């Protein structure tokens, strides 16, 4: 069984901004997903960890079969995630981030993890850094597939010239996270 936890809306009470509920999926000392949408988190874990079987069924029927809600450990883990993020880290000490993706996605995520807190770079800069300067759209797709928001800070990637680009949870959320990092 994979553990999951979805925080209460006011989990970010030590920040000026409230980002809303956050969902984590993990087992043992391995984190599989960090994001702002419970259904998306569970669907991601089913596809990437369990495999494609049974995915056509509604998530509610699969939740009981594959997942165990663990509020106590989840709240502690979320505190560790926020402590790492506040410190500018892309990992939680003692925990592995299980990044499952293509080798291209892995390269992109590795580069995103290097972006310093409070700064942004463009999709084109990442494409050039990984040796694929013409793969700007593919970089954008890889950024959008990132399963570890905040720790692999995809919110720090924008269009060239710094214009705010899309974000899986909306541009307002992206602006709020960037604002919190700068303050």
Across 132-151, average pLDDT: 94
Q: What is the pLDDT of residues 165-177, one digit of tens each?
A: 888 888 888 988 8
Q: In what order do the strands lie in the sheet with 67-69?
A: 67-69, 2-6, 23-27, 30-35, 96-97
Residue 148 CA to its chain's centroid (Å) = 2
Residue 17 has pLDDT above 80, yes or no: no
3-state helix, strand and coil shares in percent for the chain, rounded to the nearest 5: 45, 15, 40
Residue 44 dihedral angles phi and psi, to the nearest 5°: -60, -50
Cβ atoms of 97 and 106 within 8 Å: the answer is: no
What whole-number distance in Å separates Cα of residue 75 and Cα of residue 82?
A: 11
Residue 120 has pLDDT above 60, yes or no: yes
The whole-model pTM stands at: 0.86
The topology under which CATH files domain 2-97 is Double Stranded RNA Binding Domain (3.30.160)
What whole-number distance in Å separates Cα of residue 110 and Cα of residue 137?
A: 17
Is 154 in the active site? yes
Give the number of residues written for the chain: 183
Q: Which CATH class is domain 103-182?
A: mainly alpha
Q: Quick check: do 2-97 and 103-182 share a fold?
A: no
Across 96-110, average pLDDT: 93
Q: Please name the residue ranges forming H helices in the chain.
A: 38-45, 59-66, 71-86, 103-112, 123-129, 136-144, 171-182
Task: Give the bridge partners for 148, in sequence order.
Answer: 34
Indicate which residue of 142, 154, 157, 177 is catalytic.
154
Domain assignments of the chain as residue spans, ordered by start: 2-97, 103-182
Q: Please list, residue by residue across 152-174, b when 16 or more beta carbons sit within 10 angstroms of its beta carbon and e when fewer do.
A: bbbbbbbeeeeeebebbbeeebb
Burial class for 116, CB neighbours closer than 10 Å (0-12, 13-18, 19+): exposed
Under the banding of pLDDT at 50, 70 and 90, the label for residue 118 is: confident
> What tokens were used for 20?
């809303």
């Amino acid at each position: 069984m994979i553990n999951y936890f979805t925080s209460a809306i006011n989990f970010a009470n030590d920040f000026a901004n409230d980002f809303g509920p956050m969902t984590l999926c993990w087992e043992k000392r391995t984190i599989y997903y960090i994001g702002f949408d419970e259904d998306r988190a569970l669907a991601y874990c089913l596809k990437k960890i369990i495999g494609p079987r049974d995915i056509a069924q509604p998530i509610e029927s699969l939740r009981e079969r594959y997942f165990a809600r663990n509020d106590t450990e989840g709240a502690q883990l979320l505190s560790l995630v926020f402590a790492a993020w506040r410190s500018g880290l892309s990992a939680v000490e003692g925990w592995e981030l299980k990044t499952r993706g293509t080798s291209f996605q892995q390269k992109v995520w590795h580069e995103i993890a290097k972006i310093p807190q409070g700064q942004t770079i463009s999709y084109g800069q990442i494409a050039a850094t990984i040796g694929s300067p013409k793969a700007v759209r593919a970089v954008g797709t890889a950024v959008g597939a990132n399963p570890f928001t905040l720790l692999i800070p995809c919110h720090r990637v924008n269009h060239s010239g710094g214009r705010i680009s899309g974000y899986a949870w909306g541009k307002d959320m992206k602006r709020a996270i960037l604002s919190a990092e700068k303050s």
